[in-house]
Amino acid sequence: MVVAVPTAVNPTPTFHYDDAGYMVVEGVRVRDIQDALGEEASPFYVYSKAQISANYEAYRAALDGVDAIIGYAIKANNNKAVVKHLAGLGAGAVLVSGAELRLAMEAGMDTSRTVFNGNGKTPAELRAAVRSQCLINVDSEFDAAHIADAARAEGLPANVLIRINPDVDPEVHAYVSTGLANSKFGIRNSHLQWFLDYIRDAGDDVLRLAGVHSHLGSTIKKVSIFKDAADIMLGFVNTIREGGAAPHLRYLNIGGGLGIDYERVGEELPSPADLINTIRPQLLAGGLTVIMEPGRSLVGNAGALVSRVIGVKTNGSTRFIVTDGSMSELIRPALYDAYMYIAATEPGGETGVFDVVGPVCESSDFLGKGRSLPLPAEGSGLAVMDAGAYCHVMASNYNMKRLPTEVLVDGDEWRIVRKGQTYEDLMLGYEGLDV
């Protein structure tokens, strides 16, 4: 048998191959983690602490000289160890649920440096947001009324940002485009005056306009798109200031959305520095504190889903690698038809072209199609790369699959940072019920 040693496929140095052809995360072989966890804990997610730190530092360095908040979008990866690490580095948080607010507070986030987003925030969530004194996005007329009700109930003013749709096309998948005129998020830019009047009439002790916000979408690959949106948003800031309606206006939230190198074809993607340098003059001229909401670009390339090969089969002209990882653990390919790079974690046989699929009873259950990989032995590992964002958080129990274990690597050590579910965990919802 020909032994194929995988090439270094990950552009991040924290994921690489050793001289024997085994994938290594920082200083730990993936196979060693796989063997230690055992079959019952497969598949699993592995994250690199060093890569998360490097990604955060890229934003911090890019924002040098700019008054800014780097607000980590917790929806990307809500592992508590990840959130605590980013809090320790100085990150704020961007939240889309009451549970995320609780997690941010437990992880040590400064709530004055957090933003509560969402088009359907509940009264209970809004009361908690007001109590914590985080910034709250106004997303609609009813949302403005609900925020005002929460502020009156708590006896505290709500510090709000108006989320305006600048109607700039981010040129991404429709499911992750959020700033167009017909988006379910935000307000029509032509309707801004209504919200300014509402906030003014509510009174300073109820609603305080702290800034404006836009979010174009996710996986954006052109920084010119951010510049176009920033120009539009600064125009709104000037209009508001000229009207004298915002004595507390301080923040310009430009959202997140920078893409990462999922495809690995040598495409040159914009960095945080590219983004900030494109809009730096506008930010400094506006005298504002900029809020950024990175999620994917902070944690995406810091993670991988590691699956165990169950077997290889051929149907017609297609060869399949069947793994214990599936759309239940990682749904992005099935949901968005997203491309995610797949790599062997150890040497294998002769290289061929395979569809990598899981055991879930759906034809849409694939992790990648037409992938060039060394023929794997049964029980060997495959890694879906760049799976640190929007992967574990979107996992499900479909086919009674269990949410996977998460592991954090720090140098030459690793530890479990979230236990995988057991069958008994799946049955907890029945406890005390006559079923």
Residue 23, Cβ neighbours under 10 Å: how many? 27
Q: Which residues, 6 or more positions from 72, have their beta carbon under 8 angstroms from its beta carbon?
A: 83, 86, 91, 92, 93, 94, 294, 295, 298
CB 302 within 8 A of CB 55: yes
And the tokens for 399?
Answer: 């086919």
Q: Which residues, 6 or more positions from 134, have their beta carbon under 8 angstroms from its beta carbon?
A: 95, 101, 111, 112, 114, 115, 116, 159
DSSP SS3 for 186: coil
Q: Which of 174, 361, 400, 433 is catalytic?
A: 361
Residue 260, Cβ neighbours under 10 Å: how many? 21
CB 366 within 8 A of CB 323: no
And the tokens for 19?
Answer: 């001289």
User: What is the Cα–Cα distance from 68 to 420, expressed in whole angstroms?
Assistant: 37
- DSSP letter string, 95-135: ESSHHHHHHHHHTT--GGGEEE--SS--HHHHHHHHHHT-E
Identify whether 361 is a catalytic site residue: yes
And the tokens for 416?
Answer: 């479990």
Best CA proximity match to 93, nearest among 121, 117, 113: 113
And the tokens for 244?
Answer: 């004298």
Residue 183 amino acid letter: S
User: What is the Cα–Cα distance from 327 to 278, expressed in whole angstroms?
Assistant: 38
Crossing angle between the packed helical segments 192-202 and 141-154, to the nearest 10 degrees:
20
Q: Which residues, 6 or more positions from 49, have their beta carbon under 8 angstroms from its beta carbon?
A: 26, 85, 302, 408, 409, 410
User: What is the Cα–Cα distance from 419 to 400, expressed in whole angstroms?
Assistant: 17
User: What is the Cα–Cα distance from 382 to 346, expressed in whole angstroms?
Assistant: 8
Active site residues: 361
